Amino acid sequence: MKNGSIIVIAVSSALCGDFFIEDNWAPRSAPTFTAYRDTTIQAGTAAMTVTISPKVELTKISSTLFGNNANAYMGNAMVTSPEAIKNLRNANISFMRLPGGNWSNIWMWDHTLPTDVKAEYLPMLKSAPQVNWTMKTDTLYALADSIGAKLQPCVNYSLARFYNGTDRVNRAASYAAKWVRDLKAKGKKAPYWEVGNENYGKWQAGYTVTGLDTISGSEYGKDFGIFADSMKGANPAIKIGAVIYTDETGYRNWSAGVLGSLNGKADYLIMHEYFTFANNINDVTANEVIASVSKIKEDRDNIDFMQNKYLGETATKLPVMVSEFNLRCGTKQTTMLAPIFQTMVLNEFVKNKFAMVNIWDIANGTSADGDHGILARKDPVIPDNAPNPGFFTYYFMTRFTGDKLSQTVSSDTTVRWYSSSFSDGSQGITAVNPSNKPMNVQINLNDFAVDTLTWFVLGADSILSPTVNINGIKPKLAAGGPELYDTIAPFRTPFVSGNSITVPPFSCLYGVLSAGGSTNVLSNQTVKSSGMTIRGNSILFETSGTRTIELFNQKGQKLFSKGISGSAFEIPAGFAKGIYTVRVNGMGSVVSSMVRL
């Protein structure tokens, strides 16, 4: 962890295309639910507009967006906890990086202690696999199997510096290859491998070693080639990444040294990013955290610059993995700020075409510096394995994110708006409002017909609230979210292009716009909306007034528009039987209702 913007990079001259997308993209269908909270939208004049163009596809979105990090100090009890397994399955973790963090630089995957290492480093290597309460390698495998995640191993590079002798790098590389061979023999899915973790940082094991110079990027880059050859000898199908930093001069010119020494041996770039820094991370403000989202575009530009400079402008640009990310602001990390920030960040990683993203981490533990885990551990308020607020980022985004990013143009940046297409024709939407004011947003759809909006709102009383609510349902405890979060029904309403929706303050809205409304939307011929009742073909208003009535079919096509006065209106006869949307202007707000004629 977690000091500095970290990149792990890997480079391969033979690579063509983005294999992360090619290997992991699949069509996705919009979520369905067994119960709904039918409602009507009563947004006032829209403060901003959003125009969504589903046919303008910006990039594919694969399952690699939803990776996570394990760490051995989560403890063995997690694997046998039904609550932990249920929650992690609900988080839909696609890849599980292991053993996680600096332990990757001391991890002996088969739990056999090496011989002929420098004596002062043997206790360090012994500490990771030998402590009884920590997870072992097979336990980490079992956890991944239990939650349906693929393995993403990080091999022990620092062993190459701990060994004695002139063949120390070859011996460490052979040990890494043995792990590759073992996983292949077991039939485990582990397509992506890393050599070391943040090795440029003095906080990492192996940075300084008796009898050797402080590690340099050039040394690591040359050694990486030996590791890659050995590991691919064990399984030519795997891809391997190497550690760099986000710019060429940071950490003693680390990236310049690495990229100048790889000689086409690596396959992809990897980056770690924690966004904000301070001597006391609790001093970092919520506004600073929100503003730091812009670093994603800066990182992308820096990496592209380095690839052009060190690999050549005509070289195939390599995919970029983010194998660790999170916000870094101390105890604020387990407040509503977490899902607000993480939801924006995941979408910005997609927009900037990062190929794979792993949050840090599954469970980390509460301390004076906060907690990065999506599940609680050693928290004084909520039990172990209960969801922290950041858990809900993944619970909702894995359900409401489609398989292709859609072009979205907003008139205002107060609410961050992202849209994606599902292959079944629905449109996923995500809106984030970090401000302290509700925002009414008019949604305009280009070349897309819709008749239903289904959505959840994840919200809180303030951006730094330790409790979050779902559709207004709050937790019983003083931290986290509703205990029965997976039983809460979504809101649902008739919807057509041009309608507005309110995004509350300090909230994330996750929804889907669906076309061709289902026939079970209405249970009978009488529909009551705010201020009006539809019975058969008759619309009855509680008060008289001047209004405009519009009727839309399931494709979103307007069939007629008529201005009326009075307290009643009869929908003309002659329309085919089916589901329609009535939209009424002139009742203090726009009111829509789905009707069956």
Residues 411 and 464 in one domain: yes
Taking residues 269-295, report their average pLDDT: 95
Residues 352 and 460 in one domain: no
Amino acid at 1: M
Take residue 415 and report the two structure tokens written for it.
């609410």
Looking at residue 586, what is its pLDDT? 73
Asked if the model's pLDDT at residue 119 lies above 80, the reply is: yes
**Inside any domain, residue 418:** yes
**Inside any domain, residue 31:** no
Looking at residue 77, what is its pLDDT? 86
| Percent of the residues in the chain that have a pLDDT greater than 70, as a whole number | 91
Which residue did the predictor score with more confidence, 567 or 393?
393
Amino acid at 91: A
Residue tagged 């594919």 (tokens): 60
Asked if the model's pLDDT at residue 12 lies above 50, the reply is: no
Q: What is the band of 183 on the pLDDT scale with cuts at 50, 70, 90?
A: very high
Asked if the model's pLDDT at residue 13 lies above 60, the reply is: no
Integer angstrom CA distances of residue 333 from 7, 83, 369, 457? 22, 22, 9, 20
Q: Which of the 8 DSSP states describes residue 382?
A: S
CATH number reported for the structural domain that contains residue 232 in this entry: 3.20.20.80
**Inside any domain, residue 32:** no
Take residue 331 and report the two structure tokens written for it.
């105890």
Taking residues 406-410, report their average pLDDT: 97
Residues 536 and 426 in one domain: no
Tally the domains of the chain: 3
Asked if the model's pLDDT at residue 271 lies above 90, the reply is: no
Residues 234 and 96 in one domain: yes
Q: What is the band of 16 on the pLDDT scale with cuts at 50, 70, 90?
A: very low
Across the chain, what does the average pLDDT equal?
A: 89
For residue 574, give every residue at least 6 positions away whose Cβ sits within 8 Å of its Cβ, in sequence order, or none. Answer: none
The string of DSSP codes covering 274-287 is -----SSGGG--HH
Q: What is the band of 73 on the pLDDT scale with cuts at 50, 70, 90?
A: confident
Looking at residue 434, what is its pLDDT? 98
Residues 254 and 393 in one domain: yes
Asked if the model's pLDDT at residue 11 lies above 70, the reply is: no
Taking residues 235-242, report their average pLDDT: 96
Q: What is the band of 522 on the pLDDT scale with cuts at 50, 70, 90?
A: very low
- Residues 343, 508 contacting (CB under 8 angstroms): yes
Q: What is the band of 351 on the pLDDT scale with cuts at 50, 70, 90?
A: very high
- Residues 57, 404 contacting (CB under 8 angstroms): yes
CATH number reported for the structural domain that contains residue 480 in this entry: 2.60.40.1180
Looking at residue 190, what is its pLDDT? 97
Domain of residue 310: give its range.
Answer: 6-25+61-401
Integer Cα distance of 20 and 355 in angstroms = 6
3-state helix, strand, coil in the chain (%, to 5): 30, 30, 45
Q: What is the band of 530 on the pLDDT scale with cuts at 50, 70, 90?
A: low
**Inside any domain, residue 317:** yes
End-to-end CA distance of the chain: 60
Looking at residue 128, what is its pLDDT? 64
Residues 396 and 410 in one domain: no
Strands 404-410 and 427-433: unpaired
Residues 556 and 500 in one domain: no
**Inside any domain, residue 463:** yes
Residues 103 and 191 in one domain: yes
**Inside any domain, residue 35:** no
Which residue did the predictor score with more confidence, 203 or 584?
203
Q: Is 367 helix (H, G, I), strand (E, B) or coil?
A: strand
Residues 496 and 386 in one domain: no
Q: Which residue, of 401, 434, 457, is where some domain finishes? A: 401
**Inside any domain, residue 395:** yes
**Inside any domain, residue 371:** yes
Please report the sign of the dihedral spanned by the C-alpha atoms of residue 255, residue 197, residue 327, residue 408.
positive
Other CB atoms closer than 10 Å to residue 486's CB: what's the count? 11
Looking at residue 552, what is its pLDDT? 78
Choose the weakest-confidence range: 425-429, 432-436, 578-582: 578-582
Q: What is the band of 45 on the pLDDT scale with cuts at 50, 70, 90?
A: confident
The pTM is what? 0.86
